[in-house]
């Protein structure tokens, strides 16, 4: 960027990271009724020139940074007591938001812990059931081996142990 002064004929290098733009609002040709603008700069120029004459902002100026700008303008028009009341209401609102956020976080943490404990309980129950099944299966196989050693026939062993004949033959 170059710094330019009308009274100075030489252009001096100022900075690559800093841009300085001079705007003469009285030369900006926007009408009092807001026209359609193609970019944000034109909107800003219109707003800066006409903010003192504006009541409620146009629909296209009720979003994002323009909404915040007009809220600041409204705040600046408040008297001392109204500003104090507004500040207190903002603090009250923030307190409520913080309380809700804390309650949500706490609820989530409690829900996660409850889910973890329930999962552990269910896992423990399933493990106990599975262990019992495996223990019964092992006991049945042990009985079947003993019966085979005692020369019982396979069909009798199958009836008494509940094992299939194929399972008995594998032993």
Residues 23 and 44 in one domain: yes
* 58 and 121, same domain (yes or no): no
Q: Which helix or strand (DSSP H or E) is residue 50 part of?
A: helix 40-50
Does one domain contain both 31 and 105? Answer: no
C-alpha distance from residue 141 to each of 136, 151, 167, 171 (Å): 9, 15, 9, 8
The C-alpha atoms of residue 5 and residue 34 are separated, in whole angstroms, by: 33
Q: Above 80 in pLDDT, residue 27? A: no
Q: List, for residues 45-55, the tens digit of each pLDDT value.
A: 777 777 777 77
pLDDT for the residue numbered 2: 42
- Lowest mean per-residue pLDDT among 2-6, 78-82, 108-112, 136-140: 2-6
88 — pLDDT class (breaks 50, 70, 90): very high
- Average pLDDT score over the chain: 81
Whether residues 26 and 90 fall in one domain? no
Same domain, 73 and 148: no
On the question of pLDDT at 39 being above 50, the answer is yes
Residues 65 and 10 in one domain: yes
In terms of Cβ atoms closer than 10 Å to its own Cβ (0-12, 13-18, 19+), residue 144 is buried
* Other CB atoms within 10 Å distance of the CB of residue 47: 19
66 and 92 part of one domain: no
Q: How far apart are CA 78 and CA 73, in angstroms?
A: 9
Based on the structure, what is the number of domains in the chain? 2
Confidence of residue 69 (pLDDT cuts 50, 70, 90): confident
Average pLDDT over residues 104-110: 95
Looking at per-residue confidence, does 75 or 121 come out higher?
A: 121
Contact 28, 49 (CB under 8 A): yes
Indicate if 8 and 57 belong to the same structural domain: yes
**pTM of the predicted model, to two decimals?**
0.41
User: Are 109 and 49 found together in one domain?
Assistant: no
Domain-ending residue, one of 21, 47, 77: 77
Q: Which of 18, 47, 77 is the C-terminal boundary of a domain?
A: 77
Domain of residue 18 covers 2-77
Instruction: For the beta carbon of residue 45, count every other beta carbon within 10 angstroms.
Output: 16
Angle CA 28–24–63, to nearest 5: 60
Q: Residue 128 — very low, low, confident or very high, per pLDDT cuts 50/70/90? A: very high
Q: What is the pLDDT of residue 168?
A: 85
Residue-level pLDDT at 12: 55
Task: Indicate whether 46 and 109 sit together in one domain.
Answer: no
Residue after which a domain boundary falls, among 77, 104, 138: 77
Asked if 106 and 70 sit in the same domain, the reply is: no
Give ∠ CA 155-161-166 in degrees, rounded to 5: 55
Residues 24 and 68 placed together within one structural domain of the fold: yes
């Amino acid at each position: 960027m170059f710094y330019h002064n009308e009274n100075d004929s030489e252009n001096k290098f100022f900075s690559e990271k800093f841009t300085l733009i001079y705007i003469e609002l009285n030369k900006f040709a926007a009408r009092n009724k807001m026209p359609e603008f193609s970019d944000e700069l034109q909107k800003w120029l219109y707003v800066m020139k006409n903010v003192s004459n504006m009541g409620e902002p146009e629909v296209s100026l009720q979003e994002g940074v323009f909404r915040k700008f007009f809220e600041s303008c409204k705040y600046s028009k408040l008297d001392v007591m109204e500003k104090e009341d507004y500040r207190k209401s903002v603090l009250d609102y923030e307190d409520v938001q913080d309380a809700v956020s804390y309650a949500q976080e706490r609820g989530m943490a409690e829900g996660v812990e409850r889910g973890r404990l329930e999962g552990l309980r269910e896992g423990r129950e399933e493990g106990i059931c599975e262990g019992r099944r495996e223990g019964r299966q092992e006991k049945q196989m042990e009985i079947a081996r003993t019966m085979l050693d005692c020369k019982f026939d396979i069909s009798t062993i199958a009836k008494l142990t509940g094992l299939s004949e194929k399972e008995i033959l594998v032993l």
